[in-house]
Structure 1
Amino acid sequence: MAFGEIERWMWADACELLARAERLHRQFFTPLAVEGTIGWSPPVDLYETENEFIALIALPGVAPGDVEISVLGRTLEVRGHRRLPALVRGAAIHRLEIPQGRFLLRFNLPEAGSALAAQGFEDGCLLLRLAKSAQGAKR
Structure 2
Amino acid sequence: MALYRHEPWSLLNQLSNELIRLHDQRTDGDGSLATADWVPPVDIREEEGRYLLCADLPGVEPKDIDISMENGVLSIQGSRYSEEKSEPAPGFKRVERSRGRFYRRFTLPDTADADRIAASSKNGVLEISIPKQEKLQPRRIEVQS
> Shorter-normalised TM-score: what interval?
0.5 to 0.7
Unaligned runs of 5+ in 1: 1-35
**TM-score normalized by the length of structure 1:** 0.61
**Alignment partner, residue 18 of structure 1:** none
Query: Comparing both structures, which one devotes a greater share of its residues to strand?
Result: 1
Matches within 5 A, 1:1-139: 37-84=35-82, 86=83, 89-90=84-85, 91-92=88-89, 93-111=92-110, 113-115=112-114, 116-135=116-135
Displacement of 1:114 after TM fit?
A: 3.0
Displacement of 1:112 after TM fit?
A: 5.2
Query: Comparing both structures, which one devotes a greater share of its residues to helix?
Result: 1
**Alignment partner, residue 10 of structure 2:** none
> Identity of paired residues, percent?
35
Going from structure 1 to structure 2, the CA distance change for 1:113 and 1:53 (only over 3 Å counts) comes to closer
Query: In angstroms, what is the RMSD of aligned CA positions?
Result: 2.5
**Secondary structure class of the residue paired with 1:134:** coil
Structure with max Cα Rg: 2
Cα distance in 1 between the residues matched to 2:51 and 2:71: 14
Contact 1:53–1:130 (CA under 8 A) maintained in structure 2: yes
Alpha-carbon displacement from aligned partner over 1:56-110 (angstroms, at most 9, x marks no partner): 00100000000000122331110000011x4xx3242532222100110112234
Q: Where in structure 1 do 4 or more consecutive aligned residues deviate above 6 Å?
A: none
